[in-house]
């Protein structure tokens, strides 16, 4: 492999295993060259990388997917090599990685909206990501994590997305909040909602391992189980108990029917946050009159950029519970099995691990 400078340790091999897509739904474990790094880059030996709902979309060729693709954007690992200009980390440091890099020159970047960059570089989206033994990152995208366990470290990137959601929703003091969904993202969002000003948080979700974990972690003030067979009964009960609705309602299930219904729980003058990831072609129906008459604000939170240091502050302060969420690990050779388990929602969160 070509390295700049003399900082490459001899322990970095020439070849590595990676999970690579050649097109939608076409994947294989391949043996390829370890990526080269430039003078401002680092090479991370990946130890674990979270599996995200977004990876299911990449699997189908949606979003930014560009072939060939090595997915994985929730990576944690150890610095294996650094370019000659790198000062923020050293070989051997354990790090998490921020998967998005803005171009800084496009229309939106130059208007201080780098998250909405038109030429965004997405590690694990349109450039190689963390479902490989090694991955190259610009040094400024990696952040030291000390001895944070791998299975907690893979939650740092989703937590970063949640903190951006918190920035977007601007919770006012004394707010009552309703969160639909308590997948890994919901579990993280819930914690930040309570840490950032909500007086009361209700989680409404289907029953199952995710809701069980939410209760166990004690991350909300009240929990509503919405059953598949009689969803309207529990939904109506929610309205009886909360006749004035909620200041903020967050839809984090990704289910269009829930999103459509969720607006009914927004208090006059309140906000609805579109947080889930929906199929691209889905449409829902809302009455504009209802939005107008009740002065409802509808807002969205897409992803995150530059929020990892904030998350690590919460981690350092012992205020964010990350344990127990990533509860199943797979090798890249088991990717088909992993996809199936994620689809069936049998687990809270999966992570790919390497030796």
CA separation (Å) from 271 to 32, 40, 137? 48, 42, 37
Site for Zn ion in 23-52 (CB under 5 A): 52
347 binds Zn ion (CB under 5 A): no
Closest distance between Zn ion and the C-beta of residue 113, in Å? 9
Binding Zn ion (rule: CB under 5 A), the pick from 16, 18, 100, 109 is: 109
Distance CA(11)–CA(21), nearest Å, equals: 27
CA angle 29, 79, 355 (to 5 degrees): 40
64 binds Zn ion (CB under 5 A): no
- Nearest 10 degrees: CA dihedral of 31, 84, 147, 348? -40
Q: Which residue lies nearer to Zn ion by CB, 54 or 301? A: 54
CA separation (Å) from 265 to 143, 191, 221, 255, 296? 39, 21, 17, 16, 11
Distance CA(222)–CA(217), nearest Å, equals: 13
Closest distance between Zn ion and the C-beta of residue 105, in Å? 6
x/- site string to Zn ion, residues 237 to 276, per CB under 5 A?
A: ----------------------------------------
Q: How many residues bind to Zn ion according to rule CB under 5 A?
A: 7
Binding Zn ion (rule: CB under 5 A), the pick from 103, 195, 235, 291 is: 103
Closest distance between Zn ion and the C-beta of residue 304, in Å? 10
Backbone angles phi and psi of 56, in degrees to 5: -70, -35
Through-space distance between the first and last CA atoms of the chain, rounded to whole angstroms: 21
x/- site string to Zn ion, residues 111 to 150, per CB under 5 A?
A: ------x---------------------------------
Distance CA(62)–CA(98), nearest Å, equals: 21
Binding Zn ion (rule: CB under 5 A), the pick from 1, 106, 291, 341 is: 106
Site for Zn ion in 279-298 (CB under 5 A): none
Contact (CB, 8 A) for 273 and 251? yes
54 binds Zn ion (CB under 5 A): yes
Closest distance between Zn ion and the C-beta of residue 349, in Å? 10
Handedness of CA 157, 162, 165, 171 (dihedral sign): negative
Q: Which residue lies nearer to Zn ion by CB, 56 or 291? A: 56
Looking at 54-62, 172-180, 199-207, 247-255, which segment touches Zn ion (CB under 5 A)? 54-62
Contact residues: Zn ion, CB under 5 A: 52, 54, 102-103, 106, 109, 117
């Amino acid at each position: 492999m070509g390295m700049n400078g003399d900082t490459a340790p001899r322990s970095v091999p020439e070849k590595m295993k990676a999970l690579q897509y050649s097109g939608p739904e076409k994947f294989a474990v391949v043996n390829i060259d370890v990526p080269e790094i430039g003078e401002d880059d680092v090479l991370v030996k990946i130890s674990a990388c979270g599996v995200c709902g977004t990876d299911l979309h990449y699997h189908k060729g949606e979003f930014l997917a560009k072939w060939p693709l090595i997915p994985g954007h929730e990576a944690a690992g150890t610095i294996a090599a650094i370019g000659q200009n790198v000062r923020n980390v050293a070989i051997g440091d354990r790090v998490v990685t921020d998967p998005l890099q803005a171009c800084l020159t496009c229309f939106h970047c130059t208007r201080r909206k780098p998250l909405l960059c038109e030429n965004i570089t997405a590690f694990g989206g349109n450039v190689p990501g963390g479902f490989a033994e090694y991955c190259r990152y610009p040094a400024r995208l990696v952040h030291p994590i000390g001895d944070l366990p791998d299975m907690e470290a893979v939650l740092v990137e989703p937590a970063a997305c949640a903190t951006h959601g918190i920035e977007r929703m601007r919770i006012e003091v004394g707010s009552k909040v309703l969160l639909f969904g308590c997948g890994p993202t919901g579990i993280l969002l819930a914690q930040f909602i309570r840490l950032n000003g909500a007086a009361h948080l209700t989680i409404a979700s289907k029953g199952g391992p995710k809701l069980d974990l939410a209760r166990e972690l004690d991350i909300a003030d009240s929990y509503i189980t919405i059953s598949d067979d009689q969803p309207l009964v529990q939904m109506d009960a929610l309205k009886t108990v909360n006749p004035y609705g909620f200041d903020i309602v967050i839809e984090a299930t990704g289910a269009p029917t829930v999103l459509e219904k969720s607006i009914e729980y927004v208090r006059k003058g309140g906000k609805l946050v579109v947080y889930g990831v929906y199929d691209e072609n889905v449409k829902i129906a809302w009455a504009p009159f209802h939005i107008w008459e009740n002065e409802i604000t509808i807002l969205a939170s897409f992803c995150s950029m530059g929020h990892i240091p904030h998350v690590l502050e919460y981690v350092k302060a012992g205020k964010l519970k990350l344990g127990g969420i990533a509860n199943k690990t797979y090798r890249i050779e088991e990717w088909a099995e992993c996809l199936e388990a994620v689809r069936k929602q049998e687990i809270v969160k999966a992570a790919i691990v390497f030796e």
